[in-house]
Amino acid sequence: MSRFKAVIFDLDGVITDTAHYHYLAWKELAESQGVHFDHEFNERLKGIDRMGSLDLILASAAHQRQYTPEEKLALADTKNKHYQELISTMSSKDLLPGAVEALDTVRRAGLRIGLASVSKNAFTVLERLGITDKFDYVVDAATIARGKPDPEIFLKAARELGVAPADCLGVEDAVAGVTAIKAAGMFALGIGHPFVLTEADVVITSLKEFNLAAY
């Protein structure tokens, strides 16, 4: 019997890996603005929402000019359209190992299941993966005012699931995401490396190691 009443998952890097698609789309956008973009730079964007990521990229532009809000929105839209083209080829084969099994384990335990992704394409990705029906509630990132590490998205998921934050297990692969889970007052399960996800209560390498009874 689990001590939790709900499990709230992140999407990218936990259930599926769209990081490569984001990387390609951001790289094209960054280089169009004269910014050198590599995998090291891409790591800085992990867990950050679209506009926050864009700000980091533009802050590295050599010309350091000021962009108007309209210009920023246009650049973000260009990146998103490219990303949407890339993810249109996704299918269930893009689910990470152990993802479906973890979701099914939570369901069999009678717990509620939520998704807290800052991606505004989360609904599309879930549909492409064929797992939309496995979630009781998916936060619409467009309704979130503050991205991770702010706890807003996890608190909203808990509220809509009808579960107190203290009764929730949050699952994240990004430092900003783990910080958000802890700030929300939830138990944090990290996916990755313990020396990176230092705030997490427990860290596993992937959902293949997911063991609800152990947390």
**pLDDT tens profile 25-72:** 999 999 999 999 999 999 888 778 889 999 999 998 877 788 999 999
pLDDT of residue 2: 86
Considering only CA atoms, which of 23, 32, 52 is closest in space to residue 141? Answer: 52
Sheet with 137-138: list strands edge to edge.
137-138, 112-115, 6-9, 168-172, 187-191, 202-204
Q: What share of the chain is helix, strand, coil (3-state, %, to 5)?
A: 50, 10, 40
Overall average pLDDT of the 169-174 stretch? 96
Known catalytic residues? 10, 12
Task: Assign domain 19-87 to its CATH architecture.
Answer: Orthogonal Bundle (1.10)
The superfamily CATH assigns to domain 6-16+92-214 is HAD superfamily/HAD-like (3.40.50.1000)
Write out the two tokens for 134. Answer: 């496995």
Average pLDDT of the chain, as a whole number: 94
Instruction: Compute the C-alpha angle 137/105/3, nearest 5°.
Output: 80
CATH 3.40.50.1000 occupies which residues in the chain? 6-16+92-214
Model pTM above 0.75: yes
CA distance 88 to 116: 21
pLDDT of residue 152: 98
Q: How many residues does the chain have?
A: 215
Overall average pLDDT of the 71-95 stretch? 94
pLDDT of residue 45: 87
pLDDT of residue 172: 97
User: Which residue type sits at 150?
Assistant: D
User: Which residue type sits at 69?
Assistant: P
Torsion, Cα 39 88 99 123, to 10 degrees, reads 110
What 8-state DSSP symbol labels residue 208?
Answer: G
Overall average pLDDT of the 174-196 stretch? 96
The gap from C-alpha 161 to its chain's centroid, in whole angstroms, comes to 18
CA distance 1 to 45: 37
CATH 1.10.150.240 occupies which residues in the chain? 19-87
Task: Identify each DSSP E strand in 92-204 by its residue range.
Answer: 112-115, 137-138, 168-172, 187-191, 202-204
pLDDT of residue 109: 97
Q: Are 45 and 174 in contact (CB under 8 A)?
A: no
For residue 188, the cross-strand partners are 170
Overall average pLDDT of the 76-90 stretch? 93
Give pLDDT tens digits for 89-131. Answer: 999 999 999 999 999 999 999 999 999 998 889 999 999 999 9
CA distance 149 to 159: 18
pLDDT of residue 201: 98
